[in-house]
Structure 1
């Protein structure tokens, strides 16, 4: 039976409100997978992803990087909340690190087995956490945004990285995919990318229906990317 619970945590001068999901029937500690949200803020979309991960045996944590009560009601609010974070990538990283450290304290968490996934803005978050050099197992970026954080980070990236992306994504063009590959290679990361043809941004979101803006749900890319992530986690958590 999959149980979901609110998970509040404090730090950096405020309170954050996430959601955890786990299988009650499973005994003992288990790997942790953090789920980083889109520009809207922590929502039912991420909770459902956490529940699906819990079904695979993980302690899944839909994190909150905006802060308790900070959720966008429309695109204008979403852009404002996201831009506040993008203006200070060190603060964004600090919030990701805080979420990681708090969930590692949970009684069901195997603190040595942590990974993160993220969607859109959350994909950027997943990459930023890996770029920090923190010792986590893996980072999975779904139709994310690739620009580096501009922080002084030169050490090797320890997390294995999986990027799942649409070739026609208007928020990260093919040239950006290549640039990310060079960046990860220079940081000695173990990385791979699956790039889906005829696929734009937000391909995992069933509510995405703006083809004129390059944003459209793609059932095939959605299913294939989730399956690839599933195999990726089996591999990295087996090491």
Structure 2
């Protein structure tokens, strides 16, 4: 079932190349070990950075990176947790994400390390950053940071949307695409409205798409929350965003 769904999603976009190769990448940040995943396109039109969900850098991110490489983009799924961080249980995941939410300086340093690793491997530097759930919050953290202009755009799938205290949107950030499930019980529509108000007030270019009946984590293949209709539609929207921000 996963194979057929993935194939259908890929078929919604124009496939212009096949992956040159893909592999796990080990890198270090302040002597800590991290593992990302690199998928390279044959003739890349741009680079996509993938921010993982709260369960860490898994086969899900590898699969999405492969899909992007098949569409003609280099892709790097970075690691925000590191080798020693347990993610097996819900409590582990809450602890891992909570530690980074409480330490935004560390979050940004890990983002920068992943960006640097991706750029060191890519022969194209124009970049879009995407994130899933926790990774969506990480993508927006980068968009609000001094690294914002490193990328041409930011996209979140059922991602965390709250702007932390002490941070603001300035209005000169690259375009932001938010894809949200209308039935998301973890990230409420009130959060979507608050973000829209903040972005509108700042003058940031943004698009928000809400998919009716889609729960939280609606893109996660094989999960109880997976909704094929919303997954396919959001992937198509993301493809259009990539085409606009990474014209090749």
Q: Same fold (TM over 0.5)?
A: yes
Deviation digits for residues 153-203 of structure 1 (CA, Å, limit 9, x no counterpart): 554342211000011211221111110011222332210011011111010
Q: 1:16 aligns with which of 13, 19, 34?
A: 34
TM-score by length of structure 1 reads 0.89
Structure 1 stretch displaced more, 114-123 or 97-106: 97-106
Q: How many residues align?
A: 228
Deviation at 1:150, TM superposition (A): 2.8
Give SS of 1:82's match: helix
Give SS of 1:116's match: strand
1:11-160 alignment runs, 5 A limit: 11-23=29-41, 26-27=42-43, 30-106=45-121, 108-111=122-125, 113-133=126-146, 134-135=148-149, 136-153=151-168, 155-160=170-175
The answer (yes or no) to whether the contact 1:21–1:50 under 8 Å persists in 2 is: yes
Give SS of 2:124's match: strand
Q: 1:6 aligns with which of 7, 24, 32?
A: 24
The answer (yes or no) to whether the contact 1:128–1:149 under 8 Å persists in 2 is: no
Alignment of 1:222 with 2:231, yes or no, is yes
Q: Which has the higher contact order (CA 8 A, sep 6+)?
A: 2
CA distance in structure 1 between the partners assigned to 2:167 and 2:191 by the alignment: 20
TM-score by length of structure 2 reads 0.85
CA distance in structure 2 between the partners assigned to 1:148 and 1:219 by the alignment: 29
> 5+ unaligned residues in a row in structure 1: which ranges?
210-215
Structure 1 segments, 4+ long, off by >6 Å, are none
Deviation digits for residues 97-151 of structure 1 (CA, Å, limit 9, x no counterpart): 2211221122x3322x111111110111111111215211011100011111334
The answer (yes or no) to whether the contact 2:87–2:93 under 8 Å persists in 1 is: yes
Structure 1 stretch displaced more, 39-48 or 63-72: 63-72
Aligned to 2:244: 235
Q: 1:198 aligns with which of 213, 216, 228?
A: 213
Q: Give the CA RMSD over aligned residues.
A: 1.8
Alignment of 1:208 with 2:223, yes or no, is yes
> 5+ unaligned residues in a row in structure 2: which ranges?
1-17
Shift in CA distance, 185/11, structure 1 to aligned 2, threshold 3 Å: same
Deviation digits for residues 212-238 of structure 1 (CA, Å, limit 9, x no counterpart): xxxx21110000000110111001112
